[in-house]
Chain A
Amino acid sequence: MIEGLSRSAARNIFFGGSAFFFLVFAGLTAHSHYYIVNVSTNQEGLTPSVIAGKHVWEKHSCINCHSLHGEGAYFAPEIGNVWTRYGGEENPDGARASLKGWIRAQPLGVPGRRQMPYFDLSEEELDNLIDFFRWADAMDTQGWPPNKAG
């Protein structure tokens, strides 16, 4: 097949095709942007506290152990559905208290168990972080993950 093709024809196909697919990709990304802001996430619920919580998440690079919607380091449990796993739907106050207690109790020091470091977080930072978890959990992720096992 390649014998019938000249070098300049191959080059033109490359540039033309790449430009075409890039435009399609950019267009679909623009639509996805619109979809994320208006449909799949709660834009009104994106409060300063949720954004501050995302900053706490980033400041301590939680992603380099945990995963968030399946992306991250796979060394520690999934956070995208941690709110559900802690029963936040039924009992928000209980879930919040349990998550705070768990984070404050680290490192557990159980022999042979992976250790989460101690992070010096204020009460406000903890609340921000949990608001962020709750907001992320509510995103429409097309039904992923299959269960709440982490």
Chain B
Amino acid sequence: MKYATQRVALPFFALALALFALQVTFGILAATVYVLPEFLVDYVPFHIMRMSHTNLLIVWLLIGFMGCTYYLLPEEAESEIHSPMIAYVQLAIFAVAGAGALVSYQFGIHEGREFLEQPLWSKILITVSFLMFLYNSSRTLLVGRKTAINSVLMLGLWLAAIFWLFAFYNPGNLGLDKLYWWWIVHIWVEGVWELIMASLLAYLLIKLTGVDREIIEKWLYVIIGLALFSGLLGTGHHYYWIGAPAYWQPIGSIFSTLEVAPFFAMVMFAFYMFWKGRRNHPNKSAMLWTLGSAAVAFFGAGVWGFMHTLSFVNYYTHGTQVTAAHGHLAFYGAYVMMVLAVITYAMPQLRGRQPYNQILNMWSFWVMTSAMCFMTFTLTFAGVVQTHLQRVMGINYMEVQQQLELFYYMRLGAGVFVAIAAVMFLVAIFGPAREELPEGMALTAR
């Protein structure tokens, strides 16, 4: 760790991972209700579990992005963080906003638009905290070296904040509500968050492979160009059936198909740099998460997204478990794995050690990734059966759901393995460092 203020990232990572554990817990509770409908019915109804699950994901990823930013910014900008105090205060505000929203949900206090359930006071605190974060990180960038990596990262974060402001606009016309709701939800996850993901990927590849910055940064611009050229008009694939004009069917179909391109470019980029790189970095588990993130994002966001994005396919699959399958693997590959990759890379430096507990960390990678893939397969099968029975045959929703029970049992099983892997990851990261490299490497070589 070259800069003392990189240490600011540590509490962000710790809180992000704690909330990750809670997110998985609520996911398992909700998956249990799918197979045992009376489970906790008088204490935590399904809609509360589900909003807790999705909100925790968003909140922990945002805290994770902030932690990643504070960690890499001093190295990239060659300058200390403007104010560590602001960083700690904005983290505390964000934690109060997120935890406060989570607790209030359990008492039935929430707003009602999907993913934007945070009560107004919580939304305002999130905005304040995020603006403090942007001020702090932008000040750091302004006095320091401007690289493509830190510039693209800051651009992605600023744009995320700007589009978040649509959360405060809720028109009475349901069609308009949906039209602008996607300006947050889609533009975030299929647009500006990809800028954040790609810049984190580029940072890790420079550090882990030692390939020239010039080459890496050129790829970075190509990738984010592909992301926004396809992703902005790709929003059209959400405008097919909400009262918007019919022209969104061809526009959305074409441009959202092209949304596969940036993810394909990221896989190419990651593996090409991996082969090209001469540096034999001792943190093998960080390399594994980095390559894994690019690969799983390509399948989850790219392939599974394409599967149901064409308007004439989506006409039948819209609103079925196919969407749930895609959502789970896309978020996991693109954002969860990328944040875990940065944490795996950064923690040895933050703890002042050589890379440690790598075998356990890699086990966690394989168990978690396999379980998420299995979950995605079960939900995909459930979605295909549901599409046929309900949308094609016209059998009623509740009858069709009974036919899907086996898939829901298997999804719950997959969720339990994700939880086991998450615990393994937490132990590998925060537990005692049992073995360290390169000492361990030397031992096996002897």
- Identify the A interface with B (CB < 8 A): 2, 5-7, 10-11, 13-14, 17-18, 21-22, 24-25, 28-29, 31-33, 35-37, 39-41, 43, 46, 50-51, 54-55, 57-65, 67-78, 107, 111-115, 117, 132, 135-136, 139-150
Contact = CB atoms under 8 A, between A and B. Distances in A.
Describe B's contact surface by its main secondary structure: helix
Contacts of B249: 142
B391 A25 contact: no
A144 B34 CA distance: 26
A18 B45 CA distance: 43
Contact of B243 (A2, A41, A117): A41
A142 B250 CA distance: 13
A146 B396 CA distance: 13
A128 B233 CA distance: 35
Contacts of B148: 7, 11
B397 A77 contact: yes
Contact of A136 (B112, B174, B320): B174
B114 A43 contact: no
Given A24-B232, A117-B45, 19 more contacts: A2-B218, A10-B218, A14-B224, A22-B232, A25-B235, A29-B179, A32-B179, A33-B179, A41-B174, A41-B243, A57-B112, A61-B112, A64-B46, A70-B318, A74-B323, A78-B319, A107-B41, A145-B391, A146-B315
A57 B112 CA distance: 7
Given A41-B243, A144-B240, A149-B397, A21 B232 contact: yes
Interface string B125-168: 00000000000000000000000100000000000000000000
Interface of B: 33-34, 37-38, 41, 45-48, 50-51, 110-114, 117, 148, 172-179, 183, 214, 217-219, 221-222, 224-225, 228-229, 232-233, 235-236, 239-249, 251, 315-316, 318-321, 323-324, 390-392, 394-398, 400-401
B171 to A, nearest CB: 9
Contact of B391 (A2, A73, A114, A146): A146
B244 A144 contact: no
Contacts of A70: 241, 318-319
B218 A41 contact: no
A62 B228 contact: no
B221 A14 contact: yes
A11 B221 contact: yes
Contacts of A28: 233, 236, 247-248, 251
Contact of A21 (B179, B229, B390, B400): B229
A56 B374 CA distance: 38
Contact of A58 (B111, B222, B246): B111
- Sorted nearest first, the 5 A-B pairs with minimum C-beta distance are A58-B112, A70-B319, A150-B397, A64-B47, A10-B221
B225 A150 contact: no
B112 A141 contact: no
Given A146-B315, A149-B396, A64 B114 contact: yes
A136 B175 CA distance: 9
Contacts of B41: 107, 115, 117
Nearest to A32: B244
B175 A7 contact: no
A149 B389 CA distance: 10
Contacts of B229: 17-18, 21
Contacts of B225: 10, 13-14, 17-18
B173 A35 contact: no
B396 A61 contact: no
A1 to B, nearest CB: 9
A35 B176 CA distance: 10
A71 B323 CA distance: 10
A39 B400 CA distance: 34
Nearest to B393: A149
Contacts of B398: 77, 113-114, 150
A70 B397 CA distance: 13
B245 A35 contact: yes
Contact of B321 (A72, A74, A114): A74
A65 B50 contact: yes
B114 A65 contact: no
22 contacts: A2-B218, A6-B218, A7-B214, A7-B218, A17-B225, A22-B228, A28-B251, A36-B243, A46-B173, A63-B112, A64-B46, A64-B117, A65-B47, A68-B174, A72-B319, A73-B114, A75-B50, A141-B243, A144-B240, A146-B391, A146-B394, A149-B397
